[in-house]
Structure 1
Amino acid sequence: MSDASGAHVSEAHGGAARVVLITGAGSGIGAALARRLAAPHTSLMLHARGADDASRRRLVQVAADCTASGARCATGFGDLAERGAAEHVIHQTLASFGALDQLVANAGHAQRQTLAALDPDTFGAAFAAMPAAFAALVRRAMPALETSKRARVVALSSFVAHRYRADAPFAATAAAKAALEALAKTAAAELAPLGVTVNCVAPGYTRRIAAQAPTTRPCGRTPPKPRRSVMLPNRTTSPR
């Protein structure tokens, strides 16, 4: 079914005990997290940019998997770098489920680029899609989060904001993720008195689609099977 906001809502049995919004939910960590959280009495708002038909199909499949696990799901598409898009996805969530308990800001992408080649448009786009979108999401979500008894916000950063290599430069992405972390710390300080917990996670290389082959090898060696508890920046792991 579709609600008045334009989000597609899939039905599952049972009432919802919590409502979770996950951006960047069509692949990688976002998709894995959605599938992990999917259960009866959980409502999931799954959002992706939806830049092409393939990415839209991936999000629809994630929603189908989550619904099969008993969750109630809604899907939405849009570029969070565009003005008003972040606020709109919060509106979609509230229109679909009437509440918001937990927000996972996972949208964004890593772009290899040297500082010498960095242009203003690329730099601005990275900041619009990551720290600016995060700030807009949190601002719009605050009234709903303040009324929740289990309010959580999680921002997904990246190791590129902490590890710098000349042979693997991520100039714009590193700066944007560092800004995201600073905003997450600010949000944590401001929202803690309201009962909202804010955390930031900085994973290492992670394949966005499970079928993708590893793209990096440490020191020319084939990386060992990834461990769940370890995400080393020079190894590629799979979201689980």
Structure 2
Amino acid sequence: MTGILEGRVAIVTGAGRGLGRAHALELARQGARVVVNDLGTSGAGAGTSAGPAEEVVAEIRAAGGEAVANGADVADFAAAEALVHQAVATFGALDVLVNNAGFVRDRMLVNTSEEEWDAVIRVHLKGHFAPLRFAGAYWRQEAKAGRPRAARIVNTSSGAGLQGSVGQGTYSAAKAGIAGLTLVAAEELAPYGVTVNAIAPSARTRMTEGPFAATMAAPAEGFDRMDPANVSPVVAWLASEDSGDVTGRVVEIEGGRICLEDGWRHGPVAELDTRWNAADVGPAVRDLIKASPAPERPYGAR
């Protein structure tokens, strides 16, 4: 297998099914040696199984690539550290981290339990931070030792985290946090040669089987816009050395459409040389709203 990732070593989390599986296969097809991480849980995060990760490894090897399986819980610090160590011990280095693992427990806010909130925030947000933290520490160490690498991190946010999604408040909060984490990590890791970007994919996976099933269905014929494999070439390019001038960005992908997200930025300003009187704030804010574009409404808004 040769391609734009020839000779590079990648970790893909949550790579046993759906988007993660498609990413692992595409990265391997482009020449990367891949650590296929998957805990093997259900779509709601229940249970574990080594099967999904091992099946993807077998598929990569059957196509002539190199891959190993990892069953770590990426939100566990010790397991995340061991995951990074496995990549280095097995393949001699680490160049790419694709953070993808996650699950959903959709609820309206007033019906969401504490356990559901904690579980979703943990797997998405902490499950991004823990591998990023240890991969980043490895690349900092390499840079300080005079062995800088053209390292890449690709995080997975979502339109739910950028525009919001009714019935997915917890998931939306976690994915918004990932977008913010991406911006900070891009700045902090830049001195070590690391770029950090995020994708906001739209694809047919176990996580979209519920509220979006109708729009995600595969067509009887023609281009399947919701095939997870449509997203993976963008991930592969972001993982390549060629993407070194791109960092701190969120890229939305659906089918053959690539959209560069335009996140929070300073807008119109009203300013006094003294403290505001509370009664004057309303008119000032309404004038600012009139001078600003209307925000996009959350997915599912009526």
Equivalent position SS for 1:80: coil
Partner of 1:187: 185
The aligned residue for residue 163 of structure 1 is 163
1:54–1:172 distance in 2 versus 1, CA, 3 Å: closer
Among the aligned pairs, what percent are the same residue? 32
Instruction: Tell me the residue number matched to 1:86.
Output: 80
Offset of residue 30 of structure 1: 0.8
Ranges of 4+ aligned residues in structure 1 off by more than 4 Å: 52-55, 212-215, 222-225, 231-234
Query: Is structure 2 residue 144 aligned with structure 1 residue 141?
Result: no
Q: Which residue does the alignment assign to 1:77? A: 71
Q: TM-score, normalised by structure 2?
A: 0.62
Summarize deviations over 1:102-136 as a string: whole Å, max 9, x none: 00000011221111012222212222212112221
Give unpaired runs (5+ residues) of structure 2. 143-147, 226-254, 260-297
The AA in structure 2 aligned to 1:217 is A
Deviations 1:49-70 (A, max 9, x none): 1237995323212111111232
CA distance in 2, matches of 1:22, 1:173: 20
1:84/1:33 CA distance change after superposition, 3 Å: same
Q: CA RMSD in A?
A: 3.1
* CA shift for structure 1 position 208: 4.3
Instruction: Look up the match of 2:145.
Output: none
Task: Say whether 1:153 aligns with 2:171.
Answer: no
Match of 1:216 in 2: 213
Question: Is residue 29 from structure 1 mapped to residue 14 from structure 2 by the alignment?
Answer: no
* In 2: Cα distance, 1:110 partner to 1:124 partner: 11
- Aligned-partner Cα distance in 1 for 2:210–2:102: 21
Displacement of 1:226 after TM fit?
A: 3.4
The farther-off stretch of 27-36 and 62-71 is 62-71
Q: Any residues of structure 2 matched to 1:45-84 within 5 Å, and which?
A: 45-51=35-41, 55-84=49-78
Q: Which residue of 2 aligns with 1:230?
A: 257
Unaligned runs of 5+ in 1: 1-11, 235-240
Letter in 1 for 2:257: V
Question: Which residue is 1:237 aligned to?
Answer: none
Once the two structures are TM-superposed, the CA of residue 28 in structure 1 deviates from its matched residue by: 0.8
Bigger drift between 21-30 and 80-89 goes to 80-89
Show the counterpart of 2:10: 20
Residue in structure 2 matched with residue 110 of structure 1 by the alignment: 104
Is the partner of 2:37 in helix, strand or coil? strand
TM-aligned CA deviation for residue 96 of structure 1:
1.7
Q: Which has the larger share of helix?
A: 2
Q: Would the alpha carbon gap of residues 46 and 105 (structure 1) be closer, same or farther in structure 2, given more than 3 Å must change?
A: same
Displacement, 1:193? Answer: 2.3
Contact (CA 8 Å) 1:205, 1:231: kept in 2 or not?
no
Secondary structure of 2:111's partner? coil
Question: Could you tell me which residue of structure 2 aligns to residue 96 of structure 1?
Answer: 90
Q: Report the secondary structure of 1:176's partner residue.
A: helix
| Equivalent residue, structure 2, for 1:44 | 34
Distance 1:214 1:38 in 2: 32
CA offset at residue 182 of structure 1? Answer: 0.7
Q: 1:18 to 1:231 in 2, by over 3 A?
A: closer
Counterpart selection for 2:172 from 171, 174, 180: 174
1:215–1:145 CA distance, 2 compared to 1 (3 A): same
Cα distance in structure 1, aligned partners of 2:67 and 2:203:
28
Which of the two has higher C-alpha Rg? 2
Distance (whole Å) between structure 2 residues aligned to residue 165 and residue 130 of structure 1: 16
Q: Does 1:198 align with 2:225?
A: no
What number of residue pairs does the alignment pair up?
213
Inter-CA distance 140–178: structure 2 relative to 1 (3 Å threshold): same
